[in-house]
Chain A
Amino acid sequence: MGLMPYHLEKGHFLLLLEDTLNEGIEVVVDNDAAITFPGLARRYSMLEYMRGVVARPCDLHNGESEVGSSLMWPGWMSDSDVSFGAFRAVAEEWFGYRIRADGTLDTKPHPNKPTGMWDGYQGNVERIMANVFIRSIEVSLGIDHDAPIPTAAPPRSWPLYFFFKCQQPFFEGWVTWQCHSINRRAAGQVTVIFATPGHNHPVSDHPIPIDNNNDHKDDLVPTLRNDGEFQVEPVSAPAADIIGEPHQGVWVITHRDHKRLNVFDTSVPSSYLEWGPPLLPIIAPENFCDVVTVQPAARSGGINEVKPRYVAP
């Protein structure tokens, strides 16, 4: 699963998920008469499975059923980076479940603890994500919610893209879409953004790592790295990766560094009635005129230099 995101996060897992659902879609993009591609079969499979996930009863006190979890979809991709470690991370850190010694899931929510690693938040992350998968696949294929899965060609086949952004108040999935042309089956796009709460790691005030010992890790926030695909002020946005496959990118444009203001002592003595609610601290740039564009490394939320490919389980 990798490390917690710094900026808008893509990372290896979501790139593999995209390839799971998009693999081969270039055929439809290039040829409007083309129908099938490997990712289409997996979309059908995932859609059917996730509809079953959300159809399971959910108990207010006991949470989700222990069987039939979204984690059990047989089509989940698997490679050296996405294996049992990822399964454990999603189950424990995202959904807040416990994995028993026999491998079964204890899904009962703890009433007095945050869900998983999400600071100060409780929620049914699994159900949110399952609904996001359902909705995003339905939108990508142009089929109404809960409509039967097509037996022939779907009305359309748009690519699906996934991101997530941490340090939000709630866990949410945003399913957005854009049709580029109504005349072609694949001339559109679905972009999904998972908004997640933060976990117990700070978010860096600066997009460019401060790496005084040259280990490619920020000295304060190890999830922020300057290796691999990291660039400051990138120039080109290539359509293909270095081996010629269609590709994508993420750039972050922000101030070079930030600071916090208005953190002051509210107990300073004052006269009668001369006080009030304190100002909340605000975040401000260190230099108001200094804006940088950064291409984050894949391990801190960017895009792999070479697109990872779906690996069958």
Chain B
Amino acid sequence: MNDKERRFDLEVAHTAVQLDTEGVLGAFLDGQLSADRSIGAATWRNDKSEFFAVRWRFAGRHERAIPGFGHTVIPPTHNEVTVSGLTLVENMAPGQVVDDIDKVLRSETIVFHRFIDWLAVFAQIGVLHLGRPMSIDDIRFVPPDRGNSRQLGYNDLQQG
């Protein structure tokens, strides 16, 4: 190994999550991923693996069919959709060198644990009726009172 060789670290994990997320969500959403880099700096380990946490948000427009959500294909709704999640990237070969990230990701040493707010995705696409069809124009999203620790979510950002 020389100085130019790179080991699997948080930055590589961010790239991995970007590729993994855009590769799947990008198949039906036109948009882009943004990652929250304020967390995940610490590395968790157990006796065989190390873990990197990447909190992300993918904002896009539903422009292509979704081959999921049950047994029918959902055609494009052209709705704005924001998907948020957290991915734990598990590296089962700590210290491994990353010279070809695609090769590493497709090896059996990397596993993704994805925690995604699918309920919000269902609602935004309209697969589930979670919204409020209405003609009243002053409906705003008011977060429930769960203390002062709650940070802004996409609903707050969309509706000000």
Contacts and interface: CB of A to CB of B under 8 A. Distances in A.
Interface in A242-279: 262, 266-267, 269-273, 275-279
A277 B136 contact: no
Given A111-B138, A280-B122, A272 B112 contact: yes
Interface stretch (A84-92, A114-122, A303-311): A114-122
Interface string B98-125: 0000000110101111111010011000
Contacts of A122: 132-134, 136, 139
Interface residues of B, number: 41
B35 interface: no
Interface string A163-187: 0000001100000000000000000
A75 interface: no
Contact of A275 (B114, B134, B138): B114
Contacts of B139: 111-112, 122
A262 B68 CA distance: 12
B152 interface: no
A270 B108 CA distance: 10
A271 B111 contact: yes
Contact of A109 (B23, B69, B136): B136
Nearest to B127: A280
B1 interface: no
A271 B139 CA distance: 41
A111 B142 CA distance: 10
A88 to B, nearest CB: 24
Contacts of A124: 135
A271 B66 contact: no
A272 B105 contact: yes
A125 B82 CA distance: 32
How big is chain A's contact interface, by range? Answer: 20 to 34
B106 to A, nearest CB: 6
A100 interface: no
A169 B128 CA distance: 9
A121 B132 contact: yes
20 contacts: A111-B138, A111-B140, A112-B139, A112-B142, A122-B132, A123-B134, A169-B129, A266-B114, A269-B88, A271-B106, A272-B110, A273-B23, A273-B24, A275-B20, A275-B24, A276-B68, A277-B66, A279-B69, A280-B69, A280-B70
Interface of A: 60-61, 109, 111-112, 114, 120-124, 169-170, 262, 266-267, 269-273, 275-280, 282
Interface of B: 16, 19-20, 23-24, 66-71, 88, 90, 105-106, 108, 110-116, 118, 121-122, 127-140, 142
